[in-house]
Amino acid sequence: MLYQKEKQIAIAAVTAAAKLCQQVRQAGFDSFSKSDRTPVTLADLGSQAIVCQFLSDAFPNEPIIAEEDAQMLQQPENLELLKQITGYVQTAIPHATPEEIIAWIDRGNGKIASRYWTLDPIDGTKGFIRGDQYAIALALVEQGQVQVGVLGCPALPLNRSEGVLFVAVKDQGTAMMSLDGSNFHPLQVNQYSDPDRVQLVESVESAHSDRPRLGAVVKKLGLTRPSVQMDSQAKYGAVARGEADIYVRIPLPQDSCRRENIWDHAAGAIVVCEAGGRVTDLDGNPLDFSLGSKLEQNRGIIASNGAIHDQVLEAITACAN
């Protein structure tokens, strides 16, 4: 079977990073503001260091395009923060040094190639800080197509405990398991489109999507269930495991030029597609991961159980701004 080594390394990397995030959240942490005014924590940086080290070890020449960089850790005033991150990373990689951690994080500043990895070390940092959902999202892309996706959701429940890993390989399906590897089983999306049963999942952050337009789409579709709000690509996991049927991301009118980051969607998209669902942009086009660190040719996102997808596309067109 294709991609077995890639899958195993990605699972090991995301599992180790997820454990670091759980430890940090338990111990407490500060958050910092990046130049784009989005937050970052030592867990984002530690998670990126771990995943990039695992990938570099197994695939030394392959580019990684990840969200964070090590610039702030090179400032003398952040020496204490670097030491703290080193302590956490050493629980997974005992020989790690502060210098190596900086180098591993910056391995994530690679360039798009015909084959590359993309990583969001913590997707939904706002959710991580709030104590809600977040995800570690890793994907392998070849010729613009996602081939492997591993989505770690440490705060998502499964069988009365917390911590879920979604694993998808192109043409091999999606599986879900606990973070300790137990409870492994294949996933299938729901098959229905009945508006009384269909469940919508959306972002917690109102600034991340056009809620008034989404409200009009819900009305047009005749959905009766109140929507569920969830941070991060955990929303894709919710669709893949049949907890939700539609995840829609509509850019706000004032953000119409904004394009989505590849690391915010690559792993989630394959998790939904390989579970039998469908993922497109708001115009019904497939997501094109070949163009750079942004989805330059796509506007907004629709992930669904497939059965309801065309109806969602029609409703979005009908509810245009």
Q: Does 231 help bind ligand AMP (rule: CB under 6 A)?
A: yes
- Classify residue 38 as exposed, middle or buried by CB count within 10 Å of its CB (0-12, 13-18, 19+): exposed
Residue 27-66 contact track with ligand AMP, rule CB under 6 A, x = bound: -----------x----------------------------
- Binding-site member from 207, 219, 283, 317 for ligand AMP (CB under 6 A): 207
Provide the CB-side half-sphere exposure for 212 (13 A, CA): 4
Binding segment for ligand AMP among 94-102, 188-196, 199-207, 286-294 (CB under 6 A)? 199-207
> Residue 245 CB: number of other CB atoms within 10 A?
29
Do the bridges between strand 228-229 and strand 200-202 make them parallel or antiparallel, or are there none, so unpaired?
parallel
DSSP-assigned beta bridge partners for residue 109: 65
Query: 249 is written with which tokens?
Result: 């991301």
Asked if residue 130 binds ligand AMP (CB under 6 A), the reply is no
CB of 7 to ligand AMP, least distance (A): 24
151 closest CA partner among 172, 169, 166, 170: 166
Q: Quick one: tokens of 176?
A: 């879900």
Instruction: Answer whether 234's CB lies under 8 Å from 156's CB.
Output: yes
Q: Per the residue annotation, which of 15, 41, 44, 231 is the catalytic one?
A: 44
Q: Based on the shown chain and the rule CB under 6 A, indicate whether residue 277 belongs to the binding site for ligand AMP.
A: no
Amino acid in the structure at residue 126:
K
- Please give the residues from 243 up to 272 whose contact with ligand AMP meets the rule CB under 6 A: 255, 258, 261, 264
Of residues 123 and 202, the one with the C-beta less far from Mg ion? 123
Residue recorded with tokens 């952050």: 205
Pairing of strands 173-178, 200-202: unpaired
Q: What does the alpha-carbon distance between residue 127 and residue 195 come to, in Å, rounded to a whole number?
A: 29
- Closest CB to ligand AMP among 182 and 256? 256
Single out the catalytic residue among 118, 125, 174, 280: 125
6/123 with CB nearer Mg ion: 123
Q: Report the Cα 64 to chain-centroid distance in Å.
A: 15
Q: Which of 68, 123, 210, 245 binds ligand AMP (CB under 6 A)?
A: 123
Report the C-alpha gap between 289 and 21 in whole angstroms. 27
In whole angstroms, the minimum distance from the beta carbon of 209 to ligand AMP comes to 6
Q: Return the bridge partners of 65, or none.
A: 109, 118
Q: Which residues within the stretch 115-154 sit at the binding site for Mg ion (CB under 5 A)?
A: 120, 123
Binding piece for ligand AMP, criterion CB under 6 A, among 72-80, 92-100, 205-213, 216-224: 205-213
Site for Mg ion in 178-237 (CB under 5 A): none
Cβ proximity to Mg ion, 123 vs 210, nearer residue: 123
Comparison of 120 and 245: residue with beta carbon closer to Mg ion: 120
For residues 93 to 122, the per-residue mask of contacts with Mg ion, x marking binding by CB under 5 A and - elsewhere, is: ---------------------------x--
Quote the DSSP letter at residue 264.
Answer: G
Residue 15 is among the residues annotated as catalytic for this protein: no
Running DSSP on this structure, what letter comes out for residue 243? S
**125 in active site:** yes
Please give the angle made by the CA atoms of 16, 243 and 272, to the nearest 5 degrees. Answer: 65
Residues identified as active-site: 44, 125
Residue ranges binding Mg ion (CB under 5 A):
120, 123, 264
Residue ranges binding ligand AMP (CB under 6 A):
38, 123-124, 203, 205, 207-208, 231-232, 255, 258, 261, 264
